[in-house]
Every structure is written in structure tokens, then in C-alpha cells.
């Protein structure tokens, strides 16, 4: 299995290197190499899943390449194979392959066609490196490579100023999170003397009783480590307050939006916390913090989506909100439910973004939904795909999103997290409302197409929509029972007992959960939101006057837009100017370098007077020095 896992990991990297070699010689060859490398990884991940579950393999970790093996530290490149890493690999490679296939048509007129697939293949490899790592050192390398890949992809259009600013913002915000991640990894290495997952997990209980003192205040060592690692996850998975880079990442090509927002970059933080669940399960204080960060993100960023009009930005804020659900599940120690929603969300969110790309291409790259309408009859495949993806997003009963999202909400309520539960219930209303806004405005009303007789889109763009519809609707139903009963992830995730208890005492089975959902407050809120959206966005039966300060606050994303675009750059400029003038010029240049050279110049001028060029002067100096040396030696004895 280790050798198969190596093929799974390295196939996209080999594809990247081959694409770099051929450059722009042939678009057809670029397509074949890029798609085949990802498809190979997908088939291998499916085969590994089959082997793992059918032959009852135990989790396996193996160091493939050892970099250093000393008494002080041990660094290696290794793979960790269990149900969690294999399920995650399957999700990443399947969505990535469909996005690659979709991009054949979407990017066909781009002059940098080959460069696009170089970036996407490398992006997929970087994510798989995170997923299959068996140690923190390798995790960090994959983490940084994902950040680099996202920077390149968001700024793919190098002559588009907004794209350059967006990738710069994404890069900087993620570097802030990476500081926390790096500090956490340093604490792990210092306290555990290892970076291997299995060894750290086995030692977590011992270090949980240790304290660390920071600025005179004592903190639990394990809690400090978990909190610092979560700072990295907050940035990567766009949680408040490190979320504001994600909407701007829409400046990249739409397939990239699907790749970043569905199964790769933004899910890395969720995956990392779930992978490290044996540590987080022991840090109750950090888990409570994670729970509230997730619920705040889910509710308040969902509200921001209501005032957006760019179709991609609405879906982007939807992504942030759904990541909040996953983070809340992590904070409640419902790790398997968080991964469950990660998996279902990957498919229906990729489907939403690819549908948005289909709409944008059909409407000649118009993204404002106020200028789009009446596409239902002229884009039937996109319409149906968007409908099913929307139903899954809002959690309509029987869809994949229903089983994963409602499972999180009900489980948090079941374990009496009252405030998070109420905030997630309110998020159902906002999610349904902004989804209805897109759906009714884009597909109903007066048609805005110039040429209504053109084909819907190329088959390369429509086939992925059809394929993604199946898991968006049925995946949740198929894996719900085995996941909730603890059979899917087993010992890969900690605190599975919480989910199993919730399943046995509240859910019972998927059919009962489906039937019971019609009697819950969740369904009532969903129906009320659908009715409200229908009469407000479609029938336009009434208008709502929102106070100016509320709309301004939401449009400005609670001040984060000004913070990131105005105040932080101003502070950064002032701070760097201070460093330049006071530290660089005054202290280093004038203080150290110039003053040192001046002192040395004075000394050399004084010493130079002793170099007269006369032999008798040198002889006198040598004799005097010898006499002085003899006197010193004599005095000692």
C-alpha cells in the first residue's frame, strides 16, 4: 500500500514536471498529461480505499526517505495511510480531475494554457502532501506549497491589477496564520523531541500536565500548542478574523475558485485539526474557542453574502459560512461530522462554482446577478445542476448537505451548546436566503442572453456538472450510517464515542433522521426562508428597507474591508518607514557601519604614524617589545 500511496502522491508532481518541460508546445499534450496524472491518482486512491476496507487493513505509517537521524532530531519523508487520509485523497483527486476536465473548455482561449495546468497539478500535489503526511515537518512543507500554489493561481492573470492585489492579500494573511503554525510546530519539537504524528499522539497525555509561561502568565503546554496550530488553520480555512482574503480570491479563473473553495486549500485547516484530534480532544479550553469561532463565522459571514451581487463572491461567502459549520463541529469534538461535511461540501460547492463558470461564459463574462436573468430554458443542464447543488447547500432533506450539515446542527444542540446551536439555526435562514437570491435572479425573470440559439456550453464544461450532481445528492445517504456508527473512520479520529452516542440515541439510522427532520425547527426555518426568498426575490411582492448603517456594515464586511485595504497598509507603511529611518539608517547604517568605519579610520591614521619605513625604528620597536615581555615574565616568577 505504501508504494501505491507514493504513486497517488507523486503522479501530479510528475505531471507538473512534464508540463514544465513541454511548455506551450501543444495544448492537446498539456491536456493529456495534466488530466491523466490526476486521473491516475484518483484511480489509485479508489483502489487503496477498496483494499483498506475489504481486507481490514490497520492504519499504516512508513518513513520512505530519511533526511536526518541523530540523537537530537529525526526528520523523514513518510506516508500515513488510514481511512481518513484515503477518503480525503479520494475527494481531492476526484474534484481536481473534474475541475481539470472542465478547464479544457473554460481556459481554451488563454495564451497561458499550459501554465494554468502546471499550477493546478502542483496545487493538487501540495494538498495530497498535507493529506498523506505522517509528520509535522512534512505537513508544514505541504502547507507552504499549498500557499504558494494558491498565490500563483489567484494571480494567474498577471496583468489584472485586482488579481495581483488579491493574491498578495491571500499570501500575506496566510503568512500570519503560518507564524502561529510554525510556533506550534516548534513547541511540539521542543517538548516532544519528535515530529512524528504517532509518537506525538502517544505522548499527548504526559505533556498535558505541563505549563508554559508567556509574559508572566502560565498556560497549559498542550493548549498553547493546539491554539497556535489552530491559528494556522484559521487563516487557511478562512475563519474570523483571518477570513477576508477568501472573497478576493475570486479574481482568479472560475475553475480555480472551485478548486480552492471545494476540496483543496480551504479544507486543509479542517483536515489538520481533525488529523490532530487526539491532541485537541485533550484541550477542552481550545476546543470551546474553536466552537465559537466556527459559529460566529457561519452566521455573520452568511449575512454578508446577502448584500453581495457578484455570483462568485456570494458563493465565496457561502464557503466561509460552511467552513464555519465544520469548525464548529471540530470545536464540539464531533470530528467525523466535520470531515463528513467537508466531503459533501467539496462536491456541491465545486458544482456551484462550475455552474457559475458556465453561466459566466454563457453571459460573456458577466458576473453581476442583477444583469443576468431568465437562463432556465436556455441552460437546462446548468439549471438542474445548480438546483441540486443549491438544495444540498441549504440542507434540504435527503440531499448530501442535509445529512452532513443537519447532523452537525442537531449534534451541537444534543450536547447542549445553546448559543452555538441558536446561531447555526439562524444560519439556516441566511444560507437559504442568499441561495434563493442567486437561483431566482439568474434562472428566472426576463432573459438577458443576446443570442438565444447558441448551444449551452461545450461538453467539457457540462459533463463535470452532470457527474458532480450525483455525489451532491446521494453521497450523504450512502455513507451516513457507516460514518455515524464509527465504522468509517474508526480510530483515525478521536472522540468518536460522542458521534456514536448521538447516532444511537437521537438519529438511529438515515431513514429515521430523514423522516424526523420534517418535525424539527431546522426544517421549519428552511421552509420559511424558501417562502420568504420566493416572494422577495422572484415575486417581488414586498420590499424591505434595511437601515443604512446595517447595509454599510455588511457591505464593508464589519470593517474588515477597510481594515485590509486601508488601515493595515497605512500602519504597514508607517511601521516600515520607522524601521527604515530609525533602525536601518540611524542604528545600522550610521550607528554601526559608518561609525565603525570612522573609528577604524582614526585608529588606522594613528597606527600609520608608526610605519615610517626606517629599519632602525622597527628594530627599536622590536627590542623594546622584547624587553617589556621579559620584564613581565620576570615579574610573574
DSSP states of 121-173: HHHHHHHHHHHHBSBHHHHHHHHHHHHHHHHHHHT-STT-HHHHHHHHHHHHH
Any domain includes 605: yes
Residues 509 and 396 in one domain: yes
Residues 458 and 521 in one domain: yes
Residue after which a domain boundary falls, among 555, 583, 598: 555
28-37, 501-510, 616-625, range with the lowest pLDDT: 616-625
Quote the pLDDT of residue 62: 87
Measured CA to CA, the distance from residue 330 to residue 298 in angstroms comes to 13
46 vs 71, more confident? 46
At residue 611, does pLDDT exceed 80? no
Residues 572 and 500 in one domain: no
- Cβ–Cβ < 8 Å for 235, 327: no
Residue 30 neighbours by CB under 8 Å, 6+ apart: 19, 22, 24, 113, 114, 117
Residues 520 and 574 in one domain: no
Measured CA to CA, the distance from residue 277 to residue 282 in angstroms comes to 9
SS3 368: strand
Measured CA to CA, the distance from residue 271 to residue 575 in angstroms comes to 36
Quote the pLDDT of residue 202: 84
Residues 586 and 495 in one domain: no
Query: Tens digits of per-residue pLDDT, 524-561?
Result: 999 999 999 999 998 888 888 778 888 888 888 888 87
Residues 542 and 579 in one domain: no
296-310, 469-483, 527-541, 542-556, range with the lowest pLDDT: 542-556
DSSP 57: P
At residue 449, does pLDDT exceed 90? no
At residue 452, does pLDDT exceed 70? no
**Burial annotation 409-448 (CB, 10 A radius, 16+ → b, else e):** bbbbbbeebeebbebbbbbbbbbbbbbbbbbbbbbebeee
16-20, 90-94, 217-221, 608-612, range with the lowest pLDDT: 608-612
Any domain includes 31: no
Residue after which a domain boundary falls, among 486, 521, 555: 555
Overall average pLDDT of the 186-197 stretch: 86
Any domain includes 570: yes
At residue 244, does pLDDT exceed 90? no
Q: Is residue 166 very low, low, confident or very high in pLDDT (cuts 50, 70, 90)? A: confident
264 vs 421, more confident? 421
Residues 542 and 575 in one domain: no
- Cβ–Cβ < 8 Å for 45, 9: no
Residue 142: name the closest of 156, 122, 166 by CA: 122
C-alpha cell at 76: 523523514
At residue 58, does pLDDT exceed 90? no
Residues 458 and 542 in one domain: yes
Domain count of the chain? Answer: 2
Any domain includes 598: yes
CA distances from 527 to 112, 385, 395, 440, 477 (A): 46, 21, 11, 16, 21
SS3 394: helix
Q: Is residue 215 very low, low, confident or very high in pLDDT (cuts 50, 70, 90)? A: low
**Burial annotation 259-290 (CB, 10 A radius, 16+ → b, else e):** bbbbbbbbbbbbbbbbbbbbbbbbbeebbebb
Residue 532 neighbours by CB under 8 Å, 6+ apart: 433
Residues 548 and 488 in one domain: yes
Residues 604 and 519 in one domain: no
Quote the pLDDT of residue 544: 80
Any domain includes 215: no
H/E stretch holding 75 = strand 74-81
60-69, 401-410, 458-467, range with the lowest pLDDT: 60-69
Full domain range(s) for residue 487: 306-315+329-555
Residues 547 and 627 in one domain: no
At residue 262, does pLDDT exceed 90? no
Residue after which a domain boundary falls, among 502, 532, 555: 555
At residue 458, does pLDDT exceed 70? yes
Sign, Cα dihedral of 197, 202, 208, 213: negative
CA 505 to chain centre: 34
Any domain includes 631: yes
Residues 483 and 565 in one domain: no
Any domain includes 571: yes
CB-side neighbour CA atoms (13 Å) of 548 = 0
Overall average pLDDT of the 310-320 stretch: 92
SS3 545: coil
SS3 78: strand
What is the pLDDT of the chain when averaged over all its residues?
88
Residue 325: name the closest of 341, 336, 346 by CA: 341
149-158, 236-245, 463-472, 567-576, range with the lowest pLDDT: 567-576
Measured CA to CA, the distance from residue 353 to residue 635 in angstroms comes to 90
At residue 426, does pLDDT exceed 80? yes
Amino acid at each position: 500500500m505504501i508504494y501505491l500511496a507514493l504513486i497517488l502522491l507523486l503522479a501530479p508532481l510528475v505531471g507538473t514536471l512534464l508540463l514544465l518541460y513541454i511548455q506551450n508546445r501543444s495544448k492537446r499534450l498539456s491536456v493529456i498529461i495534466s488530466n491523466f496524472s490526476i486521473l491516475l491518482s484518483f484511480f489509485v486512491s479508489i483502489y487503496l480505499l477498496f483494499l483498506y476496507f475489504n481486507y481490514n487493513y490497520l492504519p499504516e505509517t512508513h518513513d520512505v526517505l530519511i533526511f536526518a537521524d541523530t540523537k537530537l532530531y529525526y526528520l523523514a519523508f513518510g506516508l500515513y495511510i488510514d481511512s481518513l487520509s484515503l477518503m480525503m485523497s479520494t475527494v481531492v483527486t476526484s474534484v481536481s480531475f473534474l475541475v481539470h476536465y472542465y478547464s479544457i473548455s473554460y481556459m481554451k482561449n488563454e495564451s497561458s494554457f499550459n501554465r494554468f495546468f502546471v499550477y493546478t497539478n502542483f496545487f493538487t500535489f501540495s494538498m495530497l502532501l498535507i493529506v498523506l503526511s505522517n509528520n509535522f515537518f512534512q505537513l508544514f512543507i505541504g502547507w507552504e506549497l499549498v500557499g504558494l500554489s494558491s498565490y500563483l493561481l489567484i494571480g494567474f492573470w498577471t496583468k489584472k491589477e485586482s488579481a495581483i492585489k488579491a493574491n498578495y492579500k491571500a499570501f500575506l494573511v496566510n503568512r500570519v496564520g503560518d507564524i502561529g503554525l510554525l510556533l506550534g510546530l516548534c513547541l511540539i519539537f521542543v517538548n516532544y523531541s519528535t515530529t512524528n504524528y504517532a509518537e506525538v499522539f502517544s505522548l499527548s497525555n504526559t505533556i498535558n500536565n505541563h505549563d508554559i509561561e508567556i509574559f508572566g502568565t502560565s498556560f497549559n503546554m498542550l493548549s498553547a500548542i493546539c491554539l497556535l496550530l489552530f491559528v494556522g488553520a484559521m487563516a487557511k480555512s478562512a475563519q474570523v478574523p483571518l477570513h477576508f482574503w477568501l472573497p478576493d480570491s475570486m479574481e482568479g479563473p472560475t475553475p480555480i475558485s472551485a478548486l480552492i473553495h471545494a476540496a483543496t486549500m480551504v479544507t486543509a485547516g479542517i483536515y489538520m485539526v481533525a488529523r490532530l484530534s487526539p491532541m485537541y480532544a485533550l484541550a477542552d479550553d481550545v476546543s470551546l474557542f474553536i466552537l465559537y469561532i466556527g459559529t460566529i463565522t457561519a452566521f455573520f459571514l452568511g449575512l454578508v453574502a446577502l448584500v453581495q451581487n457578484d455570483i462568485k463572491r456570494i458563493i465565496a461567502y457561502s464557503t466561509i459560512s460552511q467552513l464555519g459549520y465544520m469548525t464548529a463541529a471540530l470545536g464540539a469534538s464531533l470530528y467525523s461530522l466535520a470531515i463528513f461535511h467537508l466531503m459533501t461540501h467539496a462536491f456541491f460547492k465545486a458544482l456551484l462554482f462550475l455552474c457559475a463558470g458556465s453561466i459566466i461564459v454563457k453571459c460573456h463574462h458577466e458576473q453581476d446577478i442583477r444583469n443576468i436573468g431568465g437562463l432556465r430554458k436556455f441552460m437546462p443542464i446548468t439549471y438542474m445542476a445548480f438546483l441540486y447543488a443549491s438544495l444540498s447547500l441549504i440542507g434540504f432533506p435527503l440531499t448530501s448537505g442535509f445529512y452532513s450539515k443537519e447532523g452537525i446542527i442537531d449534534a451541537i444542540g444534543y450536547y447542549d451548546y445553546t448559543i452555538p446551536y441558536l446561531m447555526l439555526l439562524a444560519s439556516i435562514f441566511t444560507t437559504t436566503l442568499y441561495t434563493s437570491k442567486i437561483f431566482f435572479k439568474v434562472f428566472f425573470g426576463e432573459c438577458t442572453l443576446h443570442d438565444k440559439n447558441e448551444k449551452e456550453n461545450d461538453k467539457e464544461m457540462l459533463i463535470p456538472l452532470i457527474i458532480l450532481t450525483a455525489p451532491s445528492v446521494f453521497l450523504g445517504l450512502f455513507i451516513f450510517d457507516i460514518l455515524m456508527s464509527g465504522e468509517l473512520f474508526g480510530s483515525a479520529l478521536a472522540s468518536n464515542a460522542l458521534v456514536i452516542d448521538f447516532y444511537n440515541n437521537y438519529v438511529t439510522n438515515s431513514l429515521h433522521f430523514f423522516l424526523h427532520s420534517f418535525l424539527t425547527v431546522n426544517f421549519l426555518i428552511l421552509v420559511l426562508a424558501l417562502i420568504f426568498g420566493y416572494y422577495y426575490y422572484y415575486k417581488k411582492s414586498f420590499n424591505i428597507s434595511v437601515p443604512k448603517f446595517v447595509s454599510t456594515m455588511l457591505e464593508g464586511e464589519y470593517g474588515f474591508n477597510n481594515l485590509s485595504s486601508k488601515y493595515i497598509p497605512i500602519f504597514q507603511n508607517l511601521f516600515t518607514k520607522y524601521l527604515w529611518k530609525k533602525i536601518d539608517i540611524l542604528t545600522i547604517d550610521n550607528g554601526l557601519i559608518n561609525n565603525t568605519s570612522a573609528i577604524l579610520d582614526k585608529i588606522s591614521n594613528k597606527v600609520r604614524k608608526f610605519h615610517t619605513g626606517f629599519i632602525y625604528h622597527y628594530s627599536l620597536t622590536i627590542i623594546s617589545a622584547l624587553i617589556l615581555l621579559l620584564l613581565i615574565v620576570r615579574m610573574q616568577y
